[in-house]
């Protein structure tokens, strides 16, 4: 009896040993997968590679399959490289061989750039680019030259302001292009304008606002005016020449930045709120941009010092902060506020080099390698990404359009001739 028990015990031990050996040889399967980013914001045409990590690390099969649920918005290849196609949202999914999944939500945005390009005869031609592709703009038959000064996107509508010189520069007409179709803003004027230019557009609650610099035939001074849905009224009274350059609307309040003649060949930087002016300086100065965040009003521009050198400034509620870092000249062209951060785009001379500058909360960053003269003309912040627009002169002194995203140059605009950029919008 004892011998039979021993035999059965030995057989059982052998079976257990065989069973354990079989389990040890079984492949280790994936129990989970993660992606290094769960959210990603890209501009159309950009690429970024996602990285998937399978757990446990010693899983036998680490095959990952990548898919996109909206390939018209963003595609993904077998290596996890996402390519942004057009604006919208897409979900990128990484799947293991045994069905474990992880996702990354991708938002693709469009980059709109306004400005102008010189033609073969060096005449300026207003331009709008979307993701680097030129968009059609309508011009008059008698147009001699044109410039686009500002772009704004609301819903599916793209608004561009600027002006058109007509009949060999004898007449200048303020223009608003909506989805490429031109509208003569002077047609709504209660009196005839001799020359007019549109410098900013803003849309709020389906109301379209445009700021205009105009000159009536019988007067020699420029007047700042506001166009809203076809109605025009003056911001300044015309007794002193005014030059509006930027527009912001918040809660129905209209803010305009620019400068106005004082006396003794002096202009003063100003912000007008609903037509009421605030002087930003008591010396020669110019305001190029305005931005409103909550109850705070920001403006950027520059002021002349005692040596008549330009010094970049940003004003918050009328209080100035100097931006330049050295003894060279500097100018600020655009301001944008995101959360608690204030971004200003412009240019600065550093040791004889003209650098494109982005100031964040007063701290300067150079854009580009500084080998060629450059300047930054506009800035826009979206989805945590900072976009800066500018120009740079190449070795042939041709002006090349530049867009930097988080400090990295994006080659999205190419032109045959010199290009000058004025405005940037990301949506």
Domain boundaries, the chain: 32-108, 111-426
222 neighbors 172 (Cβ within 8 angstroms): no
Asked whether the domain spanning 111-426 has the same topology as the one spanning 32-108, the reply is no
The pLDDT assigned to 8 comes to 46
CA atoms within 13 Å, Cβ hemisphere of 16: 6
CATH number given to 111-426: 2.120.10.30
Secondary structure (3-state) at 101:
strand
Measured CA to CA, the distance from residue 262 to residue 242 in angstroms comes to 10
Q: Is the Cα dihedral 404, 408, 410, 415 positive or negative?
A: positive
Dihedral angle computed from the Cα positions of residues 353, 358, 363 and 369, in that order, rounded to the nearest 10 degrees? -40
Q: What is the pLDDT along the chain (427 residues), one digit of tens a residue?
A: 444 445 444 444 444 444 444 455 789 999 999 999 999 999 999 999 999 999 999 999 999 999 999 999 999 999 999 999 999 999 999 999 999 999 999 999 999 999 999 988 889 999 999 999 999 999 999 999 999 999 999 999 999 999 999 988 889 999 999 999 999 999 998 888 889 999 999 999 999 999 999 997 655 689 999 999 999 999 999 899 999 999 999 999 999 999 999 988 899 999 999 999 999 999 999 999 999 999 999 999 999 999 899 999 999 999 999 998 777 899 999 999 999 999 999 999 998 899 999 999 999 999 998 889 999 999 999 999 999 999 999 888 899 999 999 999 987 787 778 999 999 999 9
Count how many Cα atoms sit within 13 Å of the Cα of residue 97 in the half-sphere of its side chain: 10
Predicted structure pTM score: 0.91
Residue 285 near residue 259 (C-beta atoms within 8 A): yes
Q: Tell me: domain 32-108, CATH 2.60.40.1080, correct?
A: yes
Please say whether the beta carbons of 63 and 75 come within 8 A: no
pLDDT score of 328: 85
Query: What's the pLDDT at 324?
Result: 81
Contact 91, 70 (CB under 8 A): yes
pLDDT value at position 194?
A: 81
Q: Which residues pair with 268 in a beta bridge?
A: 260
Return the residue matching tokens 């990603």.
40
């Amino acid at each position: 009896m004892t011998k039979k028990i021993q035999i059965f015990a030995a057989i059982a031990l052998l079976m257990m040993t065989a069973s354990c050996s079989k389990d040890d040889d079984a492949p280790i399967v994936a129990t989970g997968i993660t992606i290094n980013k769960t959210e990603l914001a890209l501009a159309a045409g950009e690429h970024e590679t996602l990285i998937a990590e399978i757990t446990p690390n010693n899983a036998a099969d680490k095959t990952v399959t990548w898919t996109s649920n909206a390939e018209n918005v963003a595609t993904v290849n077998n290596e996890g490289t996402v390519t942004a196609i057009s604006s919208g949202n897409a979900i990128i999914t990484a799947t293991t061989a045994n069905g474990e999944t992880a996702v990354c939500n991708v938002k693709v945005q469009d980059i709109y750039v306004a400005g102008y390009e010189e033609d073969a005869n060096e005449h300026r031609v207003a331009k709008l680019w979307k993701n680097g592709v030129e968009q059609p703009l309508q011009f008059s038959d008698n147009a001699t030259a044109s410039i686009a000064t500002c772009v704004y996107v609301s819903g599916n509508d793209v608004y561009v302001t600027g002006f058109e010189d007509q009949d060999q520069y004898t007449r200048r007409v303020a223009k608003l292009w909506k989805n490429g179709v031109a509208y003569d803003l002077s047609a709504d004027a209660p009196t005839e304008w001799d020359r007019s230019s549109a410098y900013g557009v803003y849309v709020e609650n389906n109301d379209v606002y445009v700021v205009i610099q105009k000159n009536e035939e019988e007067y020699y001074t420029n007047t700042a005016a506001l166009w809203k849905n076809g109605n025009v009224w003056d911001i300044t009274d015309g007794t002193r020449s005014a030059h509006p350059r930027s527009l912001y609307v918040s809660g129905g309040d209209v803010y305009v930045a620019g400068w106005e003649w004082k006396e003794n060949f002096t202009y003063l930087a100003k912000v007008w709120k609903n037509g009421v002016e605030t002087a930003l300086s008591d010396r020669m100065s110019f305001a190029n941009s305005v931005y409103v965040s909550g109850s705070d009003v920001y403006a950027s521009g520059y002021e002349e010092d005692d040596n008549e050198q330009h010094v970049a400034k940003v004003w918050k509620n009328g209080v100035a902060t100097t931006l330049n870092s050295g003894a060279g000249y500097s100018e600020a062209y655009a301001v944008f506020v995101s959360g608690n951060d204030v971004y200003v785009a412009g240019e600065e001379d550093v040791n004889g080099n003209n650098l494109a500058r982005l100031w964040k909360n007063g701290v300067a960053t150079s854009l580009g390698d500084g080998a060629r003269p450059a300047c930054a003309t506009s800035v826009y912040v979206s989805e945590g990404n900072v976009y800066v627009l500018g120009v740079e002169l190449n070795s042939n002194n041709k002006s090349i359009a530049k867009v930097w995203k988080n400090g990295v140059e994006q080659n999205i605009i190419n032109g045959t001739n010199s290009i000058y950029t004025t405005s940037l919008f990301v949506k």
